[in-house]
Each structure stands twice: as structure tokens, then as C-alpha cells.
């Protein structure tokens, strides 16, 4: 097909039986040949669309899904379009609707991967394999947070791991399985540990040796015994109708090993399209493998060079093996609409990408599109030099960002509280509401709505207080509900006190009251708050509480690299830790393209349109030469 024929085919299918706007037609006409080729690709062939940074993949996925839904005949089967966050779901649903032109039929599904697995597989069929108590009319699993405190939930003692680890008790709710290494891990507060490594530790082996000596039983507590106890502990947990969030993938996998169930799902959703596929965990890939074997066609859209969630057990090597095993065809999107050619070329080199990528943005900074600045002892010196660059090249400070690796570094450079108010949405909403300023109160409403969306699973847009007609009949009633919740929370002096408290102590004092107030107000609109556990966000329990303030209009924003994945800025200062102790936050590790630290660096370097600057500690001559050979220009005080 010629380009004109491809555009005509798309326009004809999408416009059939409905009004098709000129704007929608123009959006089709502006697509590249690569984008059109994927949109018109076979829906019965498993395809991996490797989409470079800035390639417009979300738009392409939305158009592809709308095109296939228009061509879909059956009302009993449908397409599942999946991603990993509620916000991404809302974005994709909006793109699909804009091209489809009317409400998407209910036989199709647009949502998160977890909501699909939970709703259509694990919760629907899991009871068949686990003897959930017969006196429960609701046979669904109750999701127990891995951070649930056993001291306030004595019933968890029924699900202790019966194994003598020294100085600690492990509960079924804390155990989760990593498919990439085929090992069980325990989540304890802010850390996760392999149970095999814990067993083999010197402390544990000495403890077990002492028990064996006392009991004169040299073969007690072997590793295989530990594995048997883990299985027994987990099965009891599941049979009694409980599971943690990660367990649901294992339960879904068990369901799909039943051929009847697997073929039922495959028949109901014969096509699955997954955005940000590089974020799939090993357990999620195992689920998809069973569905593919049962006849499901899967389309993956993403970029393995942006796989930065190893803590979630995503592994590029396993994903590539999965593609080979199931005979996926690979297609590419290789035009970057976000960045200048120099930024694209530099990012491609550091990412070890072996195909050409075209940049589409005209340079504003000449030889300094990609540059670096050295600092002595204080990273803020690099920020000052970067700010000077913004002024020289007339880049608004509000369109620039400083990127760091950790929340600790972010808070240090932000002079106090994190700019990401969503870390503590309820606390920050209460504080902002009390300020009695219009912008502060709007932000407070949005933060509370964001938290309710996370707890209740509905989908809404951030610029409309996350409103969804699934929950409330109209947006005015929704805003009144949010206001009433905040008014009641702020009327409690215990809630509004932050002096001399840590975040952990505030949550401990107020979490039950927060749940009670919110549940009461939701009941007034006929909604129930799901069973939830409020926990202190990781890494913040011991931090002293700070009075939150909205950033000044001219304040340079500081963010973590993970938080801006998918984002775009005019200029980025990527700030390295001073030395290699920073591991994934140190610049030399960003050049290791086969390692996650290299992928983290790649994600950061593909965010800017016009200016990419690395802030690094003092370098040797060899290190300077290394950066300059890659394409970074040295930034001097007299840079024109």
C-alpha cells in the first residue's frame, strides 16, 4: 500500500457510521510511515513495537486500538488494552475515544494490567483452587498489604512462617515470589530480602547450628524444609481467602494452568495490547505465555532501554527470551519528536542502540544541546551554572528540571519538603487546605482525589480532580464531597499537628481516623471505601514532618528520574552523585548500557527538548575526554 492508501484505509474505517472531525483526519495524515505500518499491521500476529523515546507511541497505540475496535465484529469477545497506572489508563482511554468517536463498547477492556488479572482471572476463578471458607458468600480474595502491622492485626499470627529465623517473625502477607530468580522474598518495612540468602547468612546458620546441637539433630532445618514451610504458609493464607498484591499473579497463573479457564479467557479476549511492556514482571510474562499458548495474540509497545523497574522484577533478558519463544515480529518507531538531533544521538550512544533514530526538534543551544558542568563539594554549584544556561538560551525555568536518583537527594536540593506532594497526599492536602488560599485549596482537593482514585481504582483526569462518573453522578457533587472530607479532617487538631512528629508517628496516630472520615462521606453518595491499610511511604517513616508549601513560580523543580519517566521538559540537568558510592546515581554507571543503571541514565537523557546538561563532580582529564567523545561539551563560566 502507498502512504495515501494507508491513510485512506484508516480514515474510511474510523469514519464509518459516525462524524469524523477534520482534526482527527489531520492527526492521521501527520503519522509517519513507521507509525502507519504498525497501525495497519496484522492483528492475528504477535508483534513487539520497539518505540524509541519521544516517538508518540501512546498516540499510535490509541489509534491502533480504535482502528481494530472499529473492525471488530463479535459482541461477546473483545480487545484488552493494558498499561500499569491509572493515569496512563486515562490517557490511553482518551486517545482511543478521540479516534473511535463514540463510547467504546463494553466487550472491550481498557485498564491496568493488575485490574485485568485481578478482575477477569484471579478473583473470578481463584476460589476453584483454594478452599475459601464456605460461610463466605463473597469468594474473592481479601488483599492484605505486605506492610500490615501484625501488632494491630493479631489474626496474622495464624499465618506465621514456621521456621527459626533469628530475631524475627515472618508472616505470609510479607512473602512474595520473584519469577526471575525463582526465589521467595520477604518484604520488611523498607527492605526486601531473599529468603535463600537469609537462610545462608552467617547469623542464621549459626543459630540453626546451635538448635541442631541442643537437640542432637544434625539434619534439622535444611533449605528444602524452609521451602516446604513457605509453601505451606502461603497455601494456608490463600485457602483462608487472603492474598497480598503480588500473590494475585501467582493465583492467576494457577487459574490459567487449567485449560478450560485459559481457553475461556483466550476466547473472551483474543487480542491483548500492552503499553510500557518493558515494565512487565517475570510473573506477568508467565501469565501472558499461557494466554499466548491458548491462542491469544499479544502486541507489546515499549522500549527495553527504558526498563528501570528491577525492584518490580522486570527483566529485559527474560522479555527477549519471551519474544523468541513465542515468535514475535519486531517493528520499530525510530523518529523522536521530542528532542534535538544532538540529544538523540548522545542518548542513542549511551543506550547502546544499534539502529538510527531521527530527532525532530530544531536546536536552540547550538553546540551546547548536550553539555556537562563540574562541581566541587556542593551540587548546588551545578544548579547555578545550569540556571545561567537557561537564561542565556531563553528557556523558561518552569520548563526545566533537575533530575536526581533518590528521594533523599531530591529533598536535600529542594530545601525541605519534596515537590512531589503525592508522596503524602492526605497529609499535604490537610496542610494546604488550612492555608485558605485558592491555589493551595485546589491542590488540596486534587491530592485527596488522587488518593481516593488509588484506593478505589476508578479512572479520572488530574486536571478535573480525578472525577469519574463511576463514583459520583457529577463533578460538582464530587468537589463538594472532597471539600467536606477536608473540612472534617482539618477540624481535628491531632490531624493538623506536625510539630516534632515524624511521618511514621503521624500515620500511626491518624490512619484509622482518616479511614473512618473518608468512609463516612463516601457512604453519603452511596459508595463504600474498600478495605485498605494506610502505611507510611517507604523511606519516610523516620523523617521529621515539614510544613508543605506550594513552590514559588520561579523555583527550579527537582525530581527523581523514576518520577519523570514519560515526561518532557525543555531542559534537564542530570545531577550525578559525587562518587561511585551512589551506584545507579553516579555518572560512570549511566554509561553501562547493559545494566539498569545505564537504562536509568538513558531515561533521564531522553526527557529534554533543547538542553541536556550533566552535573558531575570534579573529573580527571581522562574522564573529561570520555564525556566529550560521547558528545557532551564542557560548560565554562564564559560559555557564550
CA distance 395 to 361: 15
Compute CA distances 416 → 410, 419, 447, 537, whole Å.
Answer: 9, 9, 19, 17
179 is in an annotated binding site: no
Quick one: how many helices (H) and strands (E) in the chain? 24, 19
Instruction: Show the beta-strand stretches assigned E in 115-240.
Output: 142-143, 175-178, 183-188, 191-194
Could you tell me if 611 and 362 are in contact, meaning their C-beta atoms sit under 8 angstroms apart? no
Cell of residue 265, nine digits:
479467557
Phi and psi angles of residue 422, each rounded to the nearest 5 degrees, phi first: -75, -5
CA distance 633 to 94: 41
52 is in an annotated binding site: yes
- Give the H or E element holding residue 360: strand 358-361
CA distance 123 to 114: 11
Paired sense of beta strands 79-83 and 271-275, if any: parallel
505 is in an annotated binding site: no
347 is in an annotated binding site: no
Could you tell me if 278 and 323 are in contact, meaning their C-beta atoms sit under 8 angstroms apart? no
End-to-end Cα distance, the chain: 50
Which string of DSSP letters, residue by residue, matches 299-319? EEEE-GGG---GGGTB-HHHH
189 is in an annotated binding site: no
* SS3 label, residue 459: coil
CA distance 518 to 513: 9
CA distance 122 to 126: 5
Phi and psi angles of residue 497, each rounded to the nearest 5 degrees, phi first: -85, 125
58 is in an annotated binding site: yes
SS3 content of the chain, % helix, strand, coil (to 5): 50, 15, 35
Please name the residues in contact with 420: beta carbons below 8 A apart, sequence gap of 6 or more.
410, 559, 560, 563
Counting Cα atoms < 13 Å in the Cβ hemisphere of 317 gives 8
CA distance 139 to 132: 6
Cell of residue 212, nine digits:
541442631
Q: Report CA 43 to chain centroid distance, whole Å.
A: 27
443 is in an annotated binding site: no
Tracing cell 557564550 back to the chain, one arrives at: 640
Cell of residue 627, nine digits:
564525556
53 is in an annotated binding site: yes
Could you tell me if 67 and 620 are in contact, meaning their C-beta atoms sit under 8 angstroms apart? no
Annotated binding site: 51-58
Summarize the annotated binding site for ATP as residue ranges.
51-58
Amino acid at each position: 500500500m502507498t502512504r495515501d492508501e494507508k491513510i485512506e484505509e484508516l480514515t474510511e474505517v474510523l469514519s464509518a457510521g459516525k462524524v469524523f472531525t477534520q482534526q482527527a483526519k489531520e492527526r492521521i495524515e501527520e503519522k509517519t510511515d513507521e507509525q502507519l505500518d504498525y497501525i495497519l499491521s496484522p492483528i492475528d500476529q504477535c508483534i513487539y513495537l520497539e518505540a524509541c523515546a519521544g516517538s508518540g507511541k501512546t498516540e499510535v497505540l490509541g489509534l491502533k486500538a480504535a482502528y481494530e475496535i472499529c473492525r471488530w465484529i463479535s459482541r461477546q469477545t473483545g480487545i484488552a488494552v493494558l498499561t500499569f497506572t491509572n493515569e496512563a489508563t486515562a490517557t490511553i482511554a482518551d486517545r482511543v475515544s478521540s479516534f473511535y468517536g463514540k463510547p467504546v463498547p463494553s466487550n472491550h477492556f481498557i485498564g491496568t494490567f493488575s485490574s485485568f488479572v485481578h478482575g477477569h482471572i484471579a478473583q473470578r476463578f481463584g476460589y476453584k483452587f483454594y478452599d475459601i471458607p464456605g460461610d463466605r458468600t463473597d469468594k474473592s480474595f481479601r488483599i492484605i498489604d505486605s506492610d500490615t502491622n501484625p501488632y494491630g492485626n493479631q489474626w496474622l499470627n495464624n499465618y506465621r512462617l514456621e521456621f527459626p529465623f533469628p530475631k524475627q517473625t515472618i508472616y505470609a502477607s510479607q512473602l512474595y515470589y520473584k519469577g526471575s530468580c525463582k526465589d521467595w522474598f520477604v518484604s520488611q518495612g523498607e527492605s526486601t530480602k531473599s529468603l535463600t540468602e537469609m537462610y545462608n547468612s552467617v547469623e542464621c546458620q549459626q543459630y540453626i547450628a546451635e538448635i541442631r546441637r541442643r537437640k542432637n539433630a544434625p539434619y534439622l532445618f535444611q533449605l528444602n524444609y524452609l521451602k516446604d514451610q513457605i509453601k505451606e504458609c502461603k497455601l494456608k493464607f490463600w485457602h483462608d481467602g487472603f492474598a497480598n498484591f503480588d500473590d494475585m499473579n501467582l493465583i492467576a497463573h494457577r487459574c490459567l494452568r487449567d485449560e478450560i479457564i485459559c481457553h475461556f479467557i483466550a476466547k473472551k479476549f483474543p487480542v491483548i495490547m500492552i503499553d510500557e511492556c518493558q515494565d512487565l514482571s517475570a510473573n506477568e510474562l508467565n501469565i501472558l505465555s499461557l494466554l499466548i499458548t491458548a491462542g491469544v495474540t499479544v502486541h507489546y509497545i515499549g522500549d527495553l532501554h527504558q526498563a528501570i523497574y528491577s525492584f518490580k522484577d522486570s527483566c529485559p533478558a527474560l522479555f527477549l527470551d519471551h519474544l523468541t519463544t513465542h515468535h514475535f515480529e519486531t517493528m520499530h518507531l525510530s523518529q523522536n519528536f521530542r528532542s534535538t538531533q544532538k540529544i538523540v544521538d548522545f542518548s542513542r550512544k549511551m543506550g547502546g542502540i544499534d539502529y538510527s533514530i531521527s530527532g525532530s526538534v530544531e536546536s536552540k543551544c547550538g553546540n551546547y544541546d548536550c553539555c556537562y558542568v563540574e562541581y566541587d563539594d556542593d551540587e548546588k554549584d551545578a544548579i547555578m551554572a545550569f540556571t545561567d544556561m537557561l537564561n542565556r538560551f531563553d528557556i523558561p525555568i518552569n520548563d526545566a528540571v533537575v533530575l536526581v536518583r533518590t528521594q533523599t537527594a531530591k529533598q536535600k536540593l529542594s530545601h525541605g519538603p519534596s515537590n512531589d506532594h503525592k508522596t503524602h497526599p492526605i497529609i499535604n492536602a490537610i496542610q494546604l487546605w488550612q492555608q485558605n488560599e485558592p491555589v493551595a485549596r485546589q491542590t488540596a482537593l486534587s491530592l485527596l482525589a488522587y488518593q481516593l482514585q488509588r484506593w478505589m481504582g476508578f479512572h479520572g483526569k488530574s486536571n478535573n480532580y480525578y472525577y469519574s462518573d463511576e463514583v459520583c453522578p457529577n463533578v460538582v457533587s464530587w468537589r463538594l464531597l472532597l471539600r467536606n472530607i477536608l473540612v472534617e479532617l482539618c477540624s481535628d487538631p491531632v490531624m493538623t499537628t506536625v510539630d516534632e512528629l515524624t511521618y511514621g508517628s503521624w500515620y500511626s496516630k491518624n490512619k484509622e481516623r482518616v479511614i473512618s472520615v473518608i468512609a463516612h462521606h463516601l457512604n453519603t453518595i452511596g459508595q463504600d471505601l474498600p478495605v485498605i491499610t494506610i502505611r507510611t511511604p517507604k523511606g519516610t517513616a523516620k523523617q521529621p514532618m515539614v510544613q508543605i508549601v506550594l513552590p514559588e513560580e520561579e523555583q527550579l523543580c527537582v525530581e527523581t528520574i523514576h518520577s519523570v519517566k514519560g515526561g518532557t521538559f525543555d531542559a534537564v540537568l542530570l545531577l550525578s552523585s559525587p562518587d561511585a558510592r551512589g551506584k545507579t546515581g553516579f555518572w560512570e554507571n549511566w554509561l553501562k548500557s547493559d545494566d539498569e543503571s545505564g537504562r536509568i541514565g538513558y531515561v533521564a537523557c531522553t526527557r529534554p527538548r533543547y538542553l541536556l546538561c550533566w552535573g558531575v563532580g570534579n573529573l580527571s582529564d581522562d574522564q573529561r575526554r570520555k564525556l566529550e567523545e560521547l558528545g557532551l561539551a564542557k560548560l565554562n563560566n564564559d560559555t557564550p
